[in-house]
């Protein structure tokens, strides 16, 4: 609550100082909070059925509403393609979490077949990133069954997200070999790299406050010249940096770090925790080089999956824990 409140408060502060529009940030914070609350409730009441419903809902939403939001469609690899990939990866993660939450072999197999079906759906929709992300989530979920200590793996997920984010800075700063830089720029598109360069210049202009929420499109020369303007740099990190300064980036990192910490402390089994962690790390990687978090369905799905993976199912509580009454010491009852 403190981190989400700080994110909302800082967006209001920077908006007031720079005449910005904080509605997008506030909506994203509300979406994450609502999804997380729903995930905690569903995971506590129906720990097996809730992940299944979440997986099916995410897949149906991606197929039925391919744009995920009104406005001009941004073709691959920008915009809507990244949002679809992120939502499908979260759906596959929910299906795999449901598999580990069930103790019935047939139900586990059905959930894993659902995850395979989501990956196939991504391939049919032409989302290469979504298909790869779903496959990685499924394979990592199967491997998570052999893991006993989650701390090191949770730290590795945080490191992986940090490396992808650092790669965007390395590409922009020409800190990678020329051949690799040309290959990455070809996949990311030169327009996206120019948008990141504009975001860096805007950050240098005001490291503390940035240009204000929702004002990147009006301040970026590359965005102004685009045939399909959407006013975003197609990177959650660079958007935070340009619009809300260094503090905005720190708050974004703190939010992801808190999710990993909550997963580490979660009472759910380690395979459930690690599966959710892999899916959320995949979302972080997609958001670092894309526009996924700008679509409301994606932050809702992220919060929902985090809530499912950190909920304490009522069925797992003993009567003593549930009522708060400790058994008396003395002679055992006959």
Tell me: the pLDDT tens digits for 12-43? 999 999 989 999 999 999 999 999 999 999 99
At 316, the pLDDT band (50, 70, 90 cuts) reads low
What tokens does 124 get? Answer: 């049919």
State how far the Cα of 14 lies from the Cα of 67, in Å rounded to an integer: 30
- The predicted structure's pLDDT at residue 169: 85
- The predicted structure's pLDDT at residue 80: 61
State how far the Cα of 170 lies from the Cα of 162, in Å rounded to an integer: 12
Residue pLDDT, tens place only, 100-139: 999 899 999 999 999 999 999 999 988 888 999 999 999 9
Sequence-ordered strand ranges (E) for the chain: none
CA-to-CA separations, 192 to 205, 222, 257, 278, in angstroms, rounded: 20, 9, 26, 26
State how far the Cα of 68 lies from the Cα of 64, in Å rounded to an integer: 9
What DSSP state is assigned to residue 329? P
* Least confident among 47-51, 169-173, 322-326: 322-326
- Distance between the two ends of the chain, CA-based, in angstroms? 48
State how far the Cα of 51 lies from the Cα of 309, in Å rounded to an integer: 9
Sequence-ordered strand ranges (E) for 178-255: none
Residue pLDDT, tens place only, 253-273: 999 999 999 999 999 999 999
Specify the pTM. 0.89
For the chain, the domains span 2-314
């Amino acid at each position: 609550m403190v981190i989400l409140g700080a994110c909302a408060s800082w967006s209001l502060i920077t908006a007031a100082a720079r005449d910005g529009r904080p509605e997008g940030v506030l909506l994203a914070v509300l979406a994450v909070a609502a999804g997380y609350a729903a995930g905690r409730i569903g995971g506590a009441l129906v720990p097996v059925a809730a992940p299944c419903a979440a997986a099916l809902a995410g897949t149906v939403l991606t197929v039925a509403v391919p744009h995920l939001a009104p406005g001009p469609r941004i073709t691959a690899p920008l915009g809507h393609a990244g949002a679809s990939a992120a939502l499908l990866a979260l759906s596959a993660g929910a299906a795999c979490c449901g598999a580990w939450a069930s103790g019935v072999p047939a139900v586990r197999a059905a959930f894993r077949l659902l995850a395979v079906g989501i990956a196939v759906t991504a391939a049919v929709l032409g989302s290469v990133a979504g298909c790869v992300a779903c496959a990685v989530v499924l394979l990592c979920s199967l491997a998570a069954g052999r893991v006993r200590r989650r701390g090191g793996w949770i730290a590795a997920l945080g490191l992986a997200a940090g490396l992808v984010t650092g790669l965007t800075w390395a590409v922009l700063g020409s800190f990678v070999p020329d051949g690799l830089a040309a290959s990455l720029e070809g996949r990311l598109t030169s327009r996206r790299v120019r948008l990141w360069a504009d975001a860096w210049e805007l950050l240098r202009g005001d490291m503390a406050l940035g240009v204000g929420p929702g004002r990147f499109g009006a301040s970026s020369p590359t965005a102004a010249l685009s045939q399909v303007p959407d006013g975003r740099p197609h990177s959650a990190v660079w958007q935070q940096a340009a619009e809300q300064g260094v503090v905005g980036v720190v708050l974004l990192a703190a939010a992801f770090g808190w999710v990993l910490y909550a997963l580490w402390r979660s009472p759910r089994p380690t395979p459930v925790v690690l599966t959710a962690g892999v899916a959320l790390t995949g979302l972080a990687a997609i958001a670092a080089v894309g526009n996924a978090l700008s679509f409301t369905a994606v932050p809702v799905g992220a919060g929902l999956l985090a809530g499912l993976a950190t909920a304490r199912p009522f069925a797992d509580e003993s009567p003593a824990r549930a009522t708060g009454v400790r058994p008396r010491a003395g002679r055992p009852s006959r």
